[in-house]
Amino acid sequence: MRSTLTRPVVVGDRTELEAARAAQPGNVALVPTMGALHEGHRALIRAARAAADAVVVSIFVNPLQFGANEDLARYPRTFDADLEMCAVEGVDLVFAPSTSAIYPEQPIVTVSAGALGDVLEGAHRAGHFDGVLTVVLKLFHLTQPSLAFFGAKDAQQLVLIRRMVTDLDVPVQIVTVPTVREPDGLALSSRNRHLSPADRVAALAISRALRAGEEAAAGGAAAPAVWATAGKVLADEPAVDLDYVALVDPVRLVDLTADASGPALLAVAGRVGSTRLIDNVTVQLSPTRKRA
Ligand code: AMP
């Protein structure tokens, strides 16, 4: 059977990218990814497709954001399936560079995430966000989008990208797409394929904890009680080796005290088997006067 899909143009180096971009009329939306595309990525691509004249998806596993003991070598790579999804979703251009195309030499000048990059994920992955921001800024320069789409699943990454765009006057509009989950609550992640069936069951404690925190907040609980409620669910699942559970201000990423109200980021990271997972929700803390 012959495919009727229009294949995206696939480019791997700067010259090809420049030529392909020059041929694109109108405004362009970029969806930066590390490949191994799943329904979460699909949601980003669809949002981009609905918002712009042309959609560019980048597929690049960025060594700069992986620590020495992290999973760069075993990060899943499913390029053919990724291209298939891009074709189905009407992506115009896939930029899939080699490491040497992005980093012809080891960069000396990089973007510093500053203090916001030292907490939560940054406390466990030194230099991670410097690597993320450096590659995202490079991808912005190379692909020249008007809009760029990122998932709420990586909440701290989003906070930092928004800060970078503001602090460094980067002319790109950042759009957030809600986290896509499995029906049982597990947030989709390229790393989920490394979970054994038993790991996968244990991993559900993460989304369960977030939901419990969300419900506690909806019931009027103050920040410390919301945090403790989520923590208790995770404490009851020893197969989740917890890095942190945190309830923080969604912009400044600082811990919240009992008098906090309004939106708060409840974030969890932990290892299940050999796989490190992160997830988060935004909860609404009620004003103190409304609490029982
Ligand atoms: P990655 O390929 O993991 O670097 O992710 C590329 C983009 O997809 C990032 O903006 C992620 O936040 C986003 N993303 C990953 N998983 C999900 C998900 N489950 N729901 C929504 N967005 C996601």
CA distances from 203 to 12, 153, 268, 270, 278 (A): 36, 15, 11, 9, 10
Among residues 41, 124, 128, 141, which one is catalytic?
A: 41
Which residues are CB-neighbours of 67 under 8 A, at least 6 positions away?
125, 126, 127, 128
pTM: 0.97
Q: Which atom of ligand 1 is nearest to the CA of 157?
A: 12
Report the pLDDT value the prediction gives residue 98, as an integer from 0 to 100: 98
Q: Which atom of ligand 1 is nearest to the CA of 149?
A: 10
Q: Which residues contact 175 (CB under 8 A, 6 or more apart)?
A: 29, 47, 48, 51, 147, 148, 149, 150
SS3 257: coil
pLDDT of residue 25: 84
Q: What is the pLDDT of residues 99-124, one digit of tens each?
A: 999 999 999 999 999 999 999 999 99
Low-confidence ranges of the chain (pLDDT < 70): 1-4, 289-292
41 is catalytic: yes
pLDDT at site 290? 65
Distance 141 CA to ligand 1 centre (A): 21
Q: Which of 70, 129, 154 to mutate to test the pocket of ligand 1 (most atoms within 8 A of CB)?
A: 154
Q: What is the reported pLDDT for 164?
A: 98
Q: At what angle do helices 128-143 and 14-22 cross, to 10 degrees?
A: 50
Residue with tokens 């490491």: 99
Cα(290) to centroid of ligand 1, in Å?
Answer: 36
Pick from 80, 129, 131, 122: nearest CA to 102: 131
Residue tagged 């708060």 (tokens): 264
